[in-house]
Homo-oligomer: A and B are copies of this chain.
């Protein structure tokens, strides 16, 4: 996901500029695709933002409203005529509306639910009872479901009628249930429409290749949809009752947000809920400072450890020149080891039961890596320190450090997965800081043994 720097955004920049200059942009608006309003709105001051939204048609707003950050949604909610807002919101598909409702602050959520018409409330209520990051919150319940004993011609007639009234969010499969609501099978709409009209639905449906529970994680659904190449994944409860379906296009959003979320965690920051450009300095600081202070405190411990070796350093100052090399090489190697495992666990290529295999692989890789790096640092260390013992300390410590840090860096995410913590919370700065502590302890221990 590289260059998201499309022409649309620079076009947006021009719009933002024109708006700031209070020029009339009406004739330009029809050239903008609904979704491209999102980056434009994020870059506008609050008042211009609202007046731009108010000047758009309902059907345009409908298309981007559910994708806006919560703050802008709330601005629109309060800045727009109530009836108009409720009308727009009621036109949204149930799964998009439930996502939007869940984004709002608790008080605004209550207000909106209170004002929604009953028929819409009934549509989204079942979706709201699940936490937002679970399958139940992602699925739609507006899917074509029919009794398995129904004749094909009747099913088709009902499907076509309901489609005309726009009652379905999906158009891939028709689902067959028994009289208890249990999912018995599914058939692609295409095949349904070409099936012999006199058969019963149960004669043509196939058992679902895979189903999922509503309390499963969104990511689990994404993983299944991707690996089975599904267009829709049926959601059933513990008794096999059909509750709804997750569609592949909803999954795309999950995958994008989850995967960048993992990257953000790996960078050692908490997820920001607003886009970076909109986020306040206060929010940005808040998301970063806890980690920085925590890691800083560990480094204070490292400083304490080093003060313990003060005498050694004052005798051979050259030892201190290589403190950054020791800690950074350890950190970098540890980050590399952990990234393979975090990614492997996320994609499903590595499982917890592979721990032993990972241990062997990392041990051997460490051996190779240190065989390449150790002579190099011995030579360069000698050039700078002009002391063969310091160079020897450096190169021997590096072997031990690479080995230790790779084992720690690879097993830490597996350990996290084992005890039920998300492996992606093992961040690059955490690994680097642990490597600092371990690395310098090894370095000065080796120095003590060799030099004194």
Interface residues of A (CB under 8 A from B): 1-6, 9-10, 13, 33, 35, 38-39, 42-43, 67, 160, 163-164, 171-172, 188-190, 193-194, 209-210, 217, 219-220, 222-223, 225-231, 248-249, 251-253, 255-256, 258-260, 262-264, 266-269, 272, 275-277, 279, 281-282, 284-285, 288-289, 291-293, 295-297, 299-300, 302-304, 306-307, 310, 313-314, 317-318, 320-325, 327-329, 331-333, 335-336, 338-354, 357-358, 361, 364-365, 368-369, 372-373, 376-377, 380-381, 384-385, 417, 422-424, 428-429, 432-433, 436, 440
Contact = CB atoms under 8 A, between A and B. Distances in A.
Contacts of A329: 292, 295-296, 299
B422 A3 contact: yes
A321 B303 contact: yes
20 contacts: A1-B223, A2-B345, A3-B423, A4-B223, A4-B345, A5-B345, A5-B351, A6-B220, A231-B249, A259-B260, A263-B342, A268-B335, A276-B350, A277-B349, A281-B365, A288-B333, A296-B373, A303-B384, A323-B323, A332-B429
Nearest to A13: B353
A188 B347 CA distance: 33
A302 to B, nearest CB: 5
Contacts of A291: 332, 336
Given A67-B227, A284-B361, 18 more contacts: A1-B255, A4-B345, A4-B350, A5-B417, A10-B353, A33-B209, A39-B351, A263-B266, A263-B342, A285-B368, A289-B368, A296-B377, A300-B380, A300-B381, A303-B324, A310-B317, A328-B433, A336-B429
- Interface-centre pick from A275, A303, A331, A373 (highest chain B CB count, 10 A): A303
Contacts of A332: 268, 291-292, 295, 429, 432-433
A347 B252 contact: no
Contacts of A380: 297, 300, 303
B369 A276 contact: no
Given A268-B336, A339-B267, A2 B219 contact: yes
A304 B339 contact: no
Smallest CB-CB A-B distances: 5 pairs: A267-B339, A4-B348, A259-B259, A299-B325, A1-B346
A293 B374 CA distance: 10
A216 to B, nearest CB: 10
Contact of A336 (B259, B267, B321): B267
A333 B223 CA distance: 32
A339 B264 CA distance: 6
Given A296-B373, A307-B321, A347-B4, A281 B217 contact: no
A258 B262 CA distance: 13
Given A227-B67, A422-B2, A325 B296 contact: yes
A258 B348 CA distance: 15
Nearest to A322: B303
A277 B350 contact: yes
Given A226-B256, A369-B292, A323 B325 contact: no
A324 B369 contact: no
Contacts of A259: 1, 255-256, 259-260, 262-263
A368 to B, nearest CB: 4
A255 B262 CA distance: 14
A235 B358 CA distance: 43
B376 A293 contact: yes
Nearest to A360: B281
Nearest to A308: B321
B210 A429 contact: no
